[in-house]
C-alpha cells in the first residue's frame, strides 16, 4: 500500500511538473539603465537582478506597449494594445472603474482554466468598481480630482477588481502609490477604513507630497514595498502546501515609482540618493522572492520573468543623478511618457531552469503584450481566437530554437501619439516627444518640425537623426502597416477584431 501511495504521489508530481509555475514581476518606472547587468556604467548595485539574469536570458530589445502605467498593464494582462479600448491617452486613477472588459481573457483567466492557482500582489491600476455614494461620480479614464475622493463608500465590497479577471487571490493597492486611497485591499475589500485625510511625502529629501485624500491609519509609503513582498512570500508558502497544483503569481511592484520611499535599512545604500536607494530595495525584494522559490523547492519548475512597465520618470531627478554618473534610461532618448525609446524600452530578464540556457542574451524584439501567449504556450494552454490579438509567443526563443522575427510592435505615448517599430526602423507619427521630454507637445517651435520622425535604430540608437525626408518609401510602408494593424483590430494572424472606439493615428485629426 505504501508503494502504491508513493507511486501515486510521484505520478501526480510528474503530471504537475508538465505545467511550470509562472512568476511575473513588474517593476514600476524602473529604467533599463538602473539594472547593472544591462548598464555596466550604472551606479546602482543590483546583485539580485544580475544573478537572475546570469541564470537565464537577457532580452536587449524589450518594450512596454505604452510609455505609462495603466495601458501597459492592460496590454500585459490581455495581450492586446490598450489604445484599442476607451483609454486613448493618460492613465487611470485610484477610483477609476474597471478597464478590462467583462468577456476579455487575461493571463490569469487562461491559466486558471488550465488548473493553475492564480495570485496577484501589488499595484493594480486597471480600475475596479467602487461603491459610490448616492448621486456621486468618479472620473472614468483619468486621475480623479480632489473633489471626488470622498465620493466612495470605502468599506463596501469592491466589484470587478483582480478577482473578476482570473485571480484567485489579490493583495495590494488600487493604483499608483501617489493616488488615493492610501490603503491596502485584500481580494474585494479594504483591510482598514481610510478614515484619515492626508498625503504622503514624495521623497525624503524634498517637501513635495502626493495627492491628499483618504488614508488608513498607519498606512505609510515606506511600508508598502515590504508589505507586498511579505504577502508575495506568504502566497508562495501557501502554494507549498499544495505542491502538485501549478501556480501563476503576478507581482506588480510599487517601486521605484513615486513616492520614492526607501526604508531606513536602505537609506544611503546606493550612494547616489533616495532614488538609487529605492532601486536597491526593489532589487532586494526580487532577491527575497527568488530565495523563497528556492527554499520551497519551486525554483527548478518555475518560469520567472522580470520587467518594468515603462522607462524611468523624471521624478527620479535626472540632473542630480547625472552629476553622480548615473542615467536611469541608459543610452536611450527620452523618459517615461515619451514615444522615444527611453519611454518604453524596458529591462527584461527570464529564468527557467532546464529550458532557458543560463547566461544567454537575445536580441529578439519583444513586447509586454507577448507575455500572454508565451505563458499560455509554456503551460500548454490554447488561446482563443478572440484573445491576445497583439501577443506573439517567444517560447521558441526561450528554448534556444530559431524563430521568425517578430511582427511590428506599436508604441504609444502618454498623450496618445503613435509609433511603429519594424526591424531596424521606427516611425513616430508626431513631431514631438508625445510626452514629457523636449520637444514637448505644444512647445514653441514644434509646429515647424516635420510631422513624422523616422529613425534607424541600428545606426542611431539615440534617435538623433530624423530620416523621414530621405526615406519617404519607408515612411509610407510603415504608415500603411500601422493603419492596417489598427483597422484589423489585431496585429497577429487570426480573425479580425474590433477597437472599442475610433482610433486616431495623428494628434489633432
Q: Cα–Cα distance between 505 and 466 in angstroms, integer?
A: 19
Answer yes or no: is 376 within a domain.
yes
What pLDDT score does 509 carry?
57
387 with 467, same domain: the answer is no
Contact by Cβ (8 Å): 392, 495: no
Answer yes or no: is 9 within a domain.
no
318 with 434, same domain: the answer is no
Q: What is the pLDDT of residues 205-220, one digit of tens each?
A: 999 999 999 999 999 9
Q: What is the pLDDT of residues 176-234, one digit of tens each?
A: 999 999 999 999 999 999 999 999 999 999 999 999 999 999 999 999 999 999 999 99
Give strand ranges (E) for 38-115: 57-63
382 with 454, same domain: the answer is no
Q: Cell 539594472 identifies what position? A: 35
Answer yes or no: is 3 within a domain.
no
Please give the backbone phi and psi of residue 248, each rounded to the nearest 5 degrees, phi first.
-120, 120
Q: pLDDT class for 388, splitting at 50, 70, 90?
A: very high
User: Which residues partner with 197 through β-bridges?
Assistant: 214
55 with 110, same domain: the answer is yes
455 with 339, same domain: the answer is no
The closest alpha carbon to 326, from 44, 38, 37, belongs to 44
The pTM of the full predicted model, rounded to 2 decimals, is 0.96
Can you give the residue range of the structural domain that contains 331? Answer: 19-398
Q: What is the pLDDT of residues 406-434, one digit of tens each?
A: 999 999 999 999 999 999 999 999 999 99
Instruction: Order the strands of the 409-412 sheet from edge to edge.
Output: 409-412, 418-422, 425-428, 453-456
Q: Cα–Cα distance between 49 and 16 in angstroms, integer?
A: 28
Q: End of a domain among 379, 398, 417?
A: 398
Number of structural domains in the chain: 2
Which set of grid coordinates corresponds to residue 199? Answer: 498625503
Q: Report CA torsion sign: 321, 31, 94, 218.
A: negative
Q: Cα–Cα distance between 505 and 430 in angstroms, integer?
A: 9
Q: What is the DSSP letter of 163?
A: G
Region 129-157: mean pLDDT is: 98
Whichever domain contains 459, its CATH number is 3.30.1120.10
50 with 169, same domain: the answer is yes
Answer yes or no: is 327 within a domain.
yes
302 with 280, same domain: the answer is yes
350 with 306, same domain: the answer is yes
255 with 279, same domain: the answer is yes
Q: Cα–Cα distance between 174 and 190 in angstroms, integer?
A: 10
111 with 74, same domain: the answer is yes
Answer yes or no: is 271 within a domain.
yes
Q: Cα–Cα distance between 476 and 452 in angstroms, integer?
A: 11
360 with 421, same domain: the answer is no
- Rounded to an integer, what is the distance from CA 317 to the centroid of its chain? 22
Indicate if the pLDDT at residue 5 is higher than 90. no
Whichever domain contains 301, its CATH number is 3.40.720.10
Q: What is the pLDDT of residues 332-364, one digit of tens each?
A: 999 999 999 999 999 999 999 999 999 999 999
Answer yes or no: is 10 within a domain.
no
The closest alpha carbon to 249, from 122, 120, 76, belongs to 120
Contact by Cβ (8 Å): 70, 92: yes
121 with 155, same domain: the answer is yes
Q: Cα–Cα distance between 294 and 168 in angstroms, integer?
A: 23
Neighbours of 461 (CB within 10 A): 15
Q: Cα–Cα distance between 296 and 174 in angstroms, integer?
A: 29
Answer yes or no: is 255 within a domain.
yes
Q: Cα–Cα distance between 14 and 31 in angstroms, integer?
A: 39
Answer yes or no: is 237 within a domain.
yes
Amino acid at each position: 500500500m505504501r508503494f502504491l501511495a508513493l507511486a501515486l504521489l510521484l505520478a501526480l508530481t510528474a503530471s504537475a511538473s508538465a505545467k511550470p509555475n509562472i512568476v511575473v514581476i513588474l517593476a514600476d518606472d524602473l529604467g533599463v539603465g538602473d539594472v547593472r547587468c544591462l548598464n555596466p556604467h550604472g551606479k546602482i548595485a543590483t546583485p539580485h537582478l544580475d544573478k537572475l539574469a546570469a541564470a537565464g536570458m537577457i532580452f536587449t530589445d524589450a518594450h512596454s506597449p505604452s510609455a505609462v502605467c495603466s495601458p501597459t498593464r492592460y496590454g500585459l494582462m490581455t495581450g492586446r494594445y490598450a489604445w484599442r479600448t476607451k483609454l486613448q491617452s493618460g492613465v487611470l486613477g485610484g477610483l477609476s472603474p474597471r478597464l478590462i472588459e467583462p468577456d476579455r481573457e487575461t493571463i490569469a483567466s487562461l491559466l486558471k482554466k488550465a488548473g493553475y492557482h492564480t495570485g496577484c500582489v501589488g499595484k493594480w491600476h486597471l480600475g475596479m468598481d467602487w461603491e459610490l455614494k448616492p448621486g456621486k461620480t468618479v472620473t472614468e479614464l483619468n486621475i480623479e480630482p480632489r473633489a471626488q475622493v470622498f465620493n466612495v463608500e470605502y468599506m463596501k465590497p469592491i466589484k470587478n477588481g483582480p478577482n473578476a479577471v482570473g485571480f484567485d487571490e489579490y493583495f495590494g493597492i488600487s493604483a499608483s502609490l501617489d493616488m488615493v486611497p492610501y490603503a491596502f485591499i485584500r481580494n474585494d475589500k479594504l483591510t482598514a477604513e481610510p478614515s484619515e485625510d492626508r498625503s504622503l511625502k514624495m521623497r525624503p529629501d524634498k517637501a513635495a507630497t502626493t495627492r491628499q485624500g483618504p488614508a488608513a491609519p498607519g498606512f505609510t509609503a515606506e511600508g508598502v514595498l515590504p508589505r507586498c513582498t511579505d504577502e508575495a512570500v506568504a502566497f508562495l508558502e501557501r502554494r507549498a502546501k499544495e505542491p502538485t497544483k501549478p501556480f501563476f503569481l503576478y507581482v506588480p511592484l510599487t517601486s521605484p515609482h513615486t513616492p520614492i520611499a526607501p526604508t531606513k535599512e536602505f537609506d544611503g545604500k546606493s550612494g547616489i540618493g533616495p532614488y538609487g536607494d529605492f532601486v536597491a530595495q526593489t532589487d532586494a525584494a526580487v532577491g527575497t522572492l527568488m530565495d523563497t522559490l528556492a527554499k520551497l523547492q519551486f525554483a527548478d519548475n518555475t518560469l520567472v520573468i522580470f520587467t518594468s512597465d515603462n522607462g524611468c520618470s523624471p521624478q527620479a531627478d535626472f540632473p542630480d543623478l547625472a552629476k553622480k554618473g548615473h542615467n536611469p534610461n541608459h543610452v536611450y532618448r527620452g523618459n517615461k511618457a515619451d514615444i522615444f525609446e527611453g519611454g518604453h524600452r524596458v529591462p527584461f530578464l527570464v529564468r527557467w531552469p532546464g529550458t532557458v540556457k543560463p547566461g544567454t542574451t537575445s536580441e529578439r524584439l519583444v513586447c509586454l503584450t507577448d507575455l500572454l501567449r508565451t505563458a499560455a504556450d509554456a503551460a500548454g494552454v490554447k488561446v482563443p481566437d478572440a484573445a491576445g490579438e497583439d501577443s506573439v509567443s517567444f517560447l521558441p526563443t526561450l528554448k534556444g530554437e530559431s524563430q521568425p522575427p517578430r511582427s511590428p510592435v506599436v508604441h504609444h505615448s502618454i498623450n496618445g501619439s503613435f509609433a511603429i517599430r519594424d526591424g531596424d526602423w521606427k516611425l513616430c507619427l508626431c513631431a514631438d516627444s508625445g510626452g514629457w521630454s523636449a520637444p514637448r507637445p505644444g512647445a514653441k517651435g514644434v509646429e515647424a518640425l516635420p510631422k513624422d520622425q523616422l529613425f534607424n535604430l541600428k545606426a542611431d540608437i539615440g534617435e538623433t537623426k530624423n530620416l523621414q525626408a530621405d526615406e519617404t518609401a519607408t515612411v509610407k510602408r510603415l504608415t500603411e502597416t500601422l493603419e492596417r494593424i489598427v483597422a484589423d483590430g489585431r496585429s497577429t494572424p487570426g480573425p479580425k477584431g474590433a477597437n472599442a472606439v475610433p482610433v486616431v493615428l495623428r494628434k489633432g485629426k
